[in-house]
Amino acid sequence: MSLPTRKIGNDSVTAIGFGLMGMSAFYGPIDSDEERFKVLNVALEAGCTNWDSANIYGDSEELLGRWFKKSGKRNDIFLATKFGFTPSGANNTPEYIKSCCDESLKKLGIETIDLTGKIRNIGLSEVSGATLRRAYAVHPIAAVQIEYSPFCLDMEQDRVGLLSACNELGVTIVAYSPLGRGLLTGKYLTASRVSVQNTTPQRVKFASPGSLRKVKTLSPFRYLKENLHSVEVKLTPEEITEIRKAAEKADELHIERYPLQMMREVFADTIATRKDLDKEGSINSASGLTNGLPMVSYQKSNDDIPNDDRRKNIPTDLTENLVALSIKLPPGDISRIRKLVIAINPTFIGQHDVSAIGFGLMGLSAYYGPIDNDEERFKVCNGSMRHSLLTLSLTDHMKVLDAALEAGCTNWDSSDIYGDSEELLGKWFKRTGKRDQIFLATKFGSTPEGPNGKPEYVRSAIESSLKKLGVDTIDLYYIHRIDQTVPIEVTIRALAELVKEGKIRYLGLSEMSAATLRRAHAVHPISAIQIEYSPFFLDIENEKVGLLETCRELGIAVVAYSPLGRGMLTGAYKSHDDIPDGEWRKTIPKFSRENFPNILKLVAGFQDVGKNHGATAGQVALAWLLAQGDDIIPIPGTKKIKYLKENLGAADVRLSPEEIARIRNLAETVNTAVGGLERYPVGEMVHLLADTPEL
């Protein structure tokens, strides 16, 4: 019998695997090594080479280690094992991961595990759809292990979202207990037939009245050879439908599949990264308040939480909470708490939390008018400017980069073609010692001769950037423009080597096609893409382009550059003549004299909406982008603290659904009106949304 195969990662595995738990734990007495070796030998001879163990399955790993040593057949087996389940609960701390892997390798007597929480492929078990997506954004998840059978259909539920997430991300589903822990074989006709040493009766689902009666009519498969022969059984569509109906009928009471105390570890979520909230204490100290009171009072100043939101029903100290009704927070304190709220609800790139609005550094060093000297760029006259988001104590001469950091904007974006931008950052890091407080992104690949993605250039570019920046590691390294002469896989492999060397944390792409993004992501996780995106540049949303859809499918952050239409959406430019002569923006077709009325029409709409919020046109444009999803990260740039504060203030502008829809209608109308006018000079359009040759 030849077993069909499936893919886990890049490995082909048998379509039916062998779950080893019952040989060493939980289901009745344990046999001798000799008896258990016979079963392992039969599995191998039958062609079943996809084996699954865990460090909590009794002596399962040691048994496999002894069998590998005796048989010498380690290389014939695709070996999966698991960690993280302890007597005191789930443990996924980094130090525990390392100790578990080392211990399992020792017990198994091998050097590599094929599928575990580490090594060749990574898998998760009993995870929520949301947590799977977050994990996949950091590193590809090859497989999810979940209880799945005609009697346990939980993973199919829409509210769980796991089956849909696996299908979208291309994650293989490994179904454990596919025979309902033996109950679907027909062997057990009553609960009394189950061994007293078997844990199955503890499962609420199997102990409930009528459960066994409901499932006993399903076709029985017995023992290893019977199980493997199931691949030869070809059910008709009618039989599949009949079993589906029977399964759904059997599951209609939705009785739990684990003891109740264990259900909290099923479809589990993890917390997001949280920042220290001790800073909040300074608000409380003046009035002797607890930390909870300002937050309750702050919520009172917003209508963001719906009345039916469960967070409004969390019981705490009622008397203390009621005191919040009498607290009147001054605007300054509301702004400071808003900043903390932003800090504890971060946007993620990879597994790193970043400020939801970043700082694009291009304009500080290139393209937009004359460039100031270092002193002027470090020190920018501030005067007495204030903004509701930021209550900073600023001197007349304030450093724009310091202002960004103090405002909580720690997501900075540079490139090796932005004039002396990287050198400027290097000088700032050296002067301040604040490198560790910045999530630093930079880019490579754009050269005077055109995009370059050759491996040798990749290495020379990173070494040059590291030297100019004066750092050891770049947090996010983008391919600035795609080399259309080099397969993307070749460039990504070169970058992946730099990740292994610790010179890069996360990889990004800019202005690539959806197809190229998928190919790149298949080689190494892509954590972010950078694309021009604003109400005036909606290319990413085009269904034919498919880029926004692909990013969301793969869990990739979208970093929106030029979110203010290169300044045109702020209202600062009243006509084409306001763009300085000789400046690059004057060559962009969409900014032409003929099209400028459309720009002004958009700006007028933003200004009208802004009246409801005390916000500028630019803030409304940024707030609209933020409203498109938590995965959208705008990175406006500026040379002035005045505009830096204004841009960051967009995080405080909460547009209503009607306002969001109004801006979208206006944006789509204007974008339709401009027709084929391009967002770059014609000669540069060839480098946008680019593909590469096949490998």
DSSP code per residue over 329-390: --HHHHHHHHHHHHHHS-EEETTEEE-SS-EE-HHHHSSSSPPPPHHHHH-EE-TT---SS-
Instruction: For residues 590 and 264, give the distance between their C-alpha atoms in angstroms, rounded to a whole number.
Output: 54
Checking if the pLDDT of 169 tops 60, the result is yes
What's the whole-number mean pLDDT along residues 310-319? 39
Checking if the pLDDT of 460 tops 90, the result is yes
For residue 248, give both structure tokens.
């759904």
| Residue 96 a catalytic site member | no
List the single range of 103-112, 289-298, 401-410, 681-690 with lowest mean pLDDT: 289-298
Q: Name the CATH topology of 342-379+392-684.
A: TIM Barrel (3.20.20)
Query: Phi/psi zone of residue 485: left (φ > 0), alpha (ψ -120 to 50 degrees), beta?
Result: alpha
Confidence (pLDDT) at 283: 44
From the list 418, 478, 561, 643, the catalytic residue is 418
3-state SS class at 507: strand
Confidence (pLDDT) at 474: 98
Checking if the pLDDT of 523 tops 90, the result is yes
**Per-residue pLDDT reduced to its tens digit, 271-306:** 444 333 334 444 444 444 444 444 444 344 444 434
Checking if the pLDDT of 339 tops 70, the result is no
Burial class (CB in 10 A: 0-12, 13-18, 19+), 680: middle
Check: CB of residue 596 under 8 Å from CB of residue 575. yes
Confidence (pLDDT) at 329: 66
Confidence (pLDDT) at 274: 33
Q: What letter represents residue 176's amino acid? A: Y
Those residues with Cβ within 8 angstroms of residue 411's Cβ, 6 or more apart along the chain or in another chain: 349, 354, 355, 357, 358, 359, 439, 441, 633, 635
Check: CB of residue 555 under 8 Å from CB of residue 134. yes
Name the one residue in this structure whose structure tokens are 């195969």: 5
φ, ψ for residue 257 (rounded to 5)?
A: -100, 0
Name the one residue in this structure whose structure tokens are 């292994």: 500
Checking if the pLDDT of 334 tops 80, the result is no
Instruction: Please give the helix or strand (H or E) that residue 173 lies within, else none.
Output: strand 172-176
List the single range of 257-261, 450-454, 527-531 with lowest mean pLDDT: 257-261
Q: At what angle do helices 94-108 and 60-71 cross, to 10 degrees?
A: 40
Checking if the pLDDT of 264 tops 70, the result is no
Instruction: For residues 110 and 104, give the distance between their C-alpha atoms in angstroms, rounded to a whole number.
Output: 9
Checking if the pLDDT of 622 tops 90, the result is yes
Mind spelling out the 3-state secondary structure of 652-674?
A: HCCCCHHHHHHHHHHHHHHHHHH
- What are the beta bridge partners of residue 325? none
Alpha helix (H) residue ranges in 216-366: 223-229, 237-250, 281-285, 292-300, 318-323, 331-344, 362-365
For residue 689, give both structure tokens.
């949304």
List the single range of 29-33, 214-218, 549-553, 557-561 with lowest mean pLDDT: 214-218
The CATH number of the domain covering residues in 5-182+220-234: 3.20.20.100
Check: CB of residue 410 under 8 Å from CB of residue 438. yes
Which of 517, 451, 511 lies closest to 486, judged by CA?
451
Q: What letter represents residue 392's amino acid? A: L
Kindly write down the DSSP assignment for every residue of 574-599, as one continuous string: -SGGGSPTT-GGGG-GGGSTTTHHHH
Radius of gyration of the chain (CA): 29
Confidence (pLDDT) at 516: 94
Instruction: Please give the helix or strand (H or E) that residue 424 lies within, else none.
Output: helix 421-432
* CATH 3.20.20.100 placement within the chain: 5-182+220-234, 342-379+392-684
Average pLDDT score over the chain: 77
Mind spelling out the 3-state secondary structure of 511-565?
A: CECHHHHHHHHHHCCEEEEEEECECCECHHHCCCCCHHHHHHHHCCEEEEECCCH
Confidence (pLDDT) at 580: 85
3-state SS class at 49: coil
Confidence (pLDDT) at 674: 67
